[in-house]
Amino acid sequence: MARIKNKRNKKRLKLFKKVRHNSSWGTLGILLFVNLLFISFVIIFAGFFCQYLIETKVDADYAGLLAEARMYEAANDDNGYLEYLEKGDRDFIVKDSSGNIIYEKGTNTCSKEGGIADFSNGSESRKIYKDTEFGLFEADPKTRKISFDFARALKLAIDKNNARLQKDNTIRLPLWIGIRIKGGNQEFIGKAYFTFNTLKEVTLIGELLMCLLGVILIAFVVLIVFMIRSIINFNRVVKLFYADPITGGHNWMWYVMNGDELLQSRKYKKQSLAVVNITFVNYRNYCLCHSIAEGEEILVKLNRSLAAQVRGWEMCAHTTMESFALLLYFDSEENITRRLQTMMDVLQNTDKDHNFIFEAGVDIIRPEVSNGVIVRRTECSIEKAYNNACTAITVQGETDPGGVFIFDDKLLEEQRWFDIVQEHQMKAIVNQEFEVYYQPKYDPNTLELGGAEALIRWNSPEYGFVSPGRFIPIFEKNGFITEIDHFMISHVAANQRMWLDMGYKVGCVSVNVSRAHFAEKDLALQIRDMVDAAGCPHNLLEIELTESAFFDDQNAMIETIKALKSFGFKVSMDDFGAGYSSLNSLKDMPLDVLKLDAGFFRGDKAGDRGQIVVSETIKLAKNLNMKTVAEGVDEKEQVEFLASQGCDLIQGYYFAKPMPKADYAARLTRAAAPVAPAAPAPAAPVQQPEQQVLPPQPVQPSAPAQPPETPGLPQQ
C-alpha cells in the first residue's frame, strides 16, 4: 500500500509540475496561430480572386482582338479589311518571324519582349506584352501568371495627368496581347484593356474587403477575449492547486514545487537552509473536545501567525491537519533552535484559554561543496528533507515532547537499522537465526533451581549477536512481536519435552506474551495447540503478561487468563511495579505468579521505605495464593532480605545471567524416573543439548555479577 500511495503522490506531483511550468500562453499561442492561418487563408483567397478578376477582364477584350487579328490576316485590296482596321480605335503592330515590325497602327507603347501567361479561368495561354507607358501588367516567367504592379497603379491613380486611364467612371488599364497569324510566321500584337466600373465593381470589391476585414476583426476580438478568459481561468486553477482549503494560505503542493526550485537555485546556493515541520500536539483531541470548526479556526490563526514571522523569501505552508511546513535560512543551529522556540512560544499564545503544545522537527541543509567550490544543490529534494524533519519529531518527540528536534546522522542510522530489522525479520525466523536463552530462577532459601525465564537473542550472520534492546522495540512497533511469541512458545515447549524425555527434572519456564497478542480472541487456543504439537505438559509453561497489558481490554484479558488456566498453564504478571500498578487488577485477574520489577532492586538502596513496599507486596501475593518472583536481583543483601520475606524465587545476575539452552540444561538434575511423553513428539527437530549433566551445587557468590545487558528494556 505504501508503494501504491507513493506512486500516486509522484503522479500527482508530476501533474502539478506541468501546471506549474506551463501557462495559458501555450494554448493562446495555438489560437493565435490558427487566427494567423485564417488570415493567411483570407489573403491567399483574395489573391486568387484578384488573379481571376484580372484574367477575366483581360480575356473579355481578347475576343475583339482575335477578330481584328483574323481580319488583318485576311485583308486584301478587295475586301477593305485593312481600311476598316485603320479606322478602328485599337492600336496594334504586326511583327514578322524575326521580330521586325512590318505594320503599325496608332501609338506603339508595346515592349519588345513578352511572356506566356496561363489563364486559370479556362482560357488558353496568352502572350502578354508590357505597356511601356504605364507598365502595369506583364507575364511573370516563373509563375506564368499575369502580374499587376499595385504600387505603380496607386501612384498613377494619384497623378491627375493620367486622367485618360479613366473615362465615364470606368478605369481602363492597358496591356498588349500577341496572336499568331498567317501560319505562325507573323504576330499580331494588339492593345487590350483591363476595364472595370468604379461605381459598381469597385464598390463590390470594397464591400467584399470590408466583409473580410470584419471577419478578421471579429476573430481577433474573440481571440483576445478568449486569451483573457484563459489567463483568468489558469490563475484560478493555480490558486486551487496551491491554496489550502482550511487556512486559505499555501498548501503542500505549493511548498514542494517552490521549495525544490529554491533549494536548487543558484541564487541561494550559499545559504544554509532549514526545512522545518511544526506540529500542533493533540490537535485532534482539541477538535474532539470542542469541534472541528473551532479547530480549523485555530489553524487559520496559527497559519497567519507563522506567515507573519517568516522573512522575505522564506516559506510557510499548511501541510497536514495539524502540521505546518517552513523553509527558513539561518547562520547556526543555536540560532535556528532559538528562533523556532520563539515562534512556538508565539503560537502557544494563540488562544489564552488553552495551553497548546507544539513540536518542531528540523533538517539542516548546508551549502554543497565540490572541489572546494560551492555548487548548486541539483539533487536536493525538499520532500525528502521534510520527511527527515518529521522523523526527528517522531523519534525524539516520544521522550521529550514540546521541543525542537534536529535530524542528524545518528537518527538516520536508527532509521536505517529500523528498515534493516524489518527487512530481515522473517528471514531470521525461517533461517533459525533467533535463539532461546534461559535465565534460571532459584529458591533463595534452598538455593535449588526452580525454573527459568525464556529470553530471545538474535545471532545474525550479517550483523553478529544483536541485543534484544535493538530489535524487540521495533517488533513491538511493527507487530512482528506476535511471530516472536509463537517462536518462543513452540521452541520452549519442544525443549521442555526433550529434557523430560532425557530424564531431567524440569522446572516451569516462563515465556513472555506481548500485549499485541491479546487482541486475538483465540490466543489461549493458539498457545495450547503449539504446546500440544511439541508434546509438552501444560504445567511446565508459564505465560507472562506485562503489567501494561492489564490496562487494555480487561474483560478480554480475564477471559484469556481463565482459558489458559483451564488448559493447565500458569499465568503471571511481569514487571509488577514498573508502571502505574493497579491493585484492582490483582483482585480481578486469576493470576498464579507475581513478578516484582527489577526497578525495586536497582540503583541506590531504597532504604526502609523500599523494603516495606516489597515486603507488603509479597504478603499481598501470598494472601491471594500467588507465588512471587523477584527479577533483577544482583546483590547478596537483596537475596537475604527476599528470603526472609518469603519470596518464592529469585531471578537475576546474582545467581546467573541469561544463557544458551545447553548451558541451562547443564544445571538441570536427573529425575527419579523418566517422564513419559504427554503428547506426540515435536514436528521440527531441535538441537540436542550437551550430554554432560552437572550435579546441583550451592551457589554462594560473594559479589554480584556484571549488570544486565539492557536495563529497562524488555528481555524477551
User: Tens digit of pLDDT for each residue in 19-54?
Assistant: 555 555 666 677 677 777 777 777 777 777 777 777
Q: Which of 651, 667, 669 is nearest to 715 (CA)?
A: 651
Specify whether 442 is located in the same domain as 565: yes
The C-alpha atoms of residue 547 and residue 577 are separated, in whole angstroms, by 8
- The answer to whether 374 and 367 are in contact (CB under 8 A) is yes
Specify whether 187 is located in the same domain as 264: no
Classify residue 691: in a domain, yes or no. Answer: no
Specify whether 513 is located in the same domain as 380: no
The C-alpha atoms of residue 82 and residue 68 are separated, in whole angstroms, by 9
Q: What is the pLDDT of residues 191-203, one digit of tens each?
A: 988 876 666 666 7
Cell of 34: 490558427
- The answer to whether 188 and 69 are in contact (CB under 8 A) is yes
Specify whether 151 is located in the same domain as 99: yes
Q: What is the pLDDT of residues 110-144, one digit of tens each?
A: 998 888 888 766 667 888 898 888 888 888 888 88
pLDDT at 18 over 70: no
**CB contact set of 536 (below 8 Å; sequence gap of 6+):** 493, 494, 496, 497, 500, 678, 679
Classify residue 214: in a domain, yes or no. Answer: no
Specify whether 535 is located in the same domain as 587: yes
Q: Please say which residue of 407, 423, 453 terminates a domain.
A: 407
Specify whether 490 is located in the same domain as 558: yes
Q: What is the pLDDT of residues 210-219, one digit of tens each?
A: 887 787 788 7
pLDDT at 262 over 80: yes
Classify residue 478: in a domain, yes or no. Answer: yes
- The answer to whether 146 and 117 are in contact (CB under 8 A) is yes
Instruction: Please give the pLDDT value at position 168.
Output: 61
Q: Please say which residue of 372, 389, 407 terminates a domain.
A: 407
How much of the chain, in percent, has pLDDT values that exceed 90? 29
Classify residue 675: in a domain, yes or no. Answer: no
Q: 351 falls in which pLDDT band (50, 70, 90)?
A: confident
Specify whether 72 is located in the same domain as 184: yes
360 half-sphere exposure, CB direction, 13 A CA radius: 25
Classify residue 711: in a domain, yes or no. Answer: no
Q: Which of 535, 545, 527 is nearest to 590 (CA)?
A: 545
Split into its structural domains, the chain has a count of: 3
Specify whether 182 is located in the same domain as 303: no
The C-alpha atoms of residue 238 and residue 244 are separated, in whole angstroms, by 12
The C-alpha atoms of residue 411 and residue 443 are separated, in whole angstroms, by 44
Classify residue 376: in a domain, yes or no. Answer: yes
The C-alpha atoms of residue 311 and residue 343 are separated, in whole angstroms, by 13
Specify whether 295 is located in the same domain as 400: yes
Classify residue 403: in a domain, yes or no. Answer: yes
Question: Beta-carbon neighbour count of residue 253 at 10 Å?
Answer: 21
Specify whether 384 is located in the same domain as 524: no
- Average pLDDT on 368-390 reads 87
- The answer to whether 76 and 95 are in contact (CB under 8 A) is no
Q: Which of 405, 317, 315 is nearest to 358 (CA)?
A: 405
Instruction: Please give the pLDDT value at position 438.
Output: 95
Q: Which of 618, 616, 636, 637 is nearest to 627 (CA)?
A: 618
Cα separation values, 234 from 230, 238, 270, 669, Å: 6, 6, 34, 85
Specify whether 453 is located in the same domain as 507: yes
Instruction: Please give the pLDDT value at position 664.
Output: 94
- The answer to whether 336 and 362 are in contact (CB under 8 A) is yes
600 exposure class (CB count in 10 Å sphere: 0-12, 13-18, 19+): buried
Specify whether 454 is located in the same domain as 576: yes
Classify residue 56: in a domain, yes or no. Answer: no
CATH number at residue 495: 3.20.20.450
- The answer to whether 175 and 194 are in contact (CB under 8 A) is yes
Cell of 638: 537483596
Which residues constitute the domain of residue 138? 61-198
Count helices and strands (H / E) in the chain.
20, 28
pTM exceeds 0.95, yes or no: no
Mean pLDDT (the chain, rounded): 81
The C-alpha atoms of residue 330 and residue 325 are separated, in whole angstroms, by 16
Q: 489 falls in which pLDDT band (50, 70, 90)?
A: very high
Which amino acid is located at 356 in the chain?
F
CATH number at residue 330: 3.30.70.270
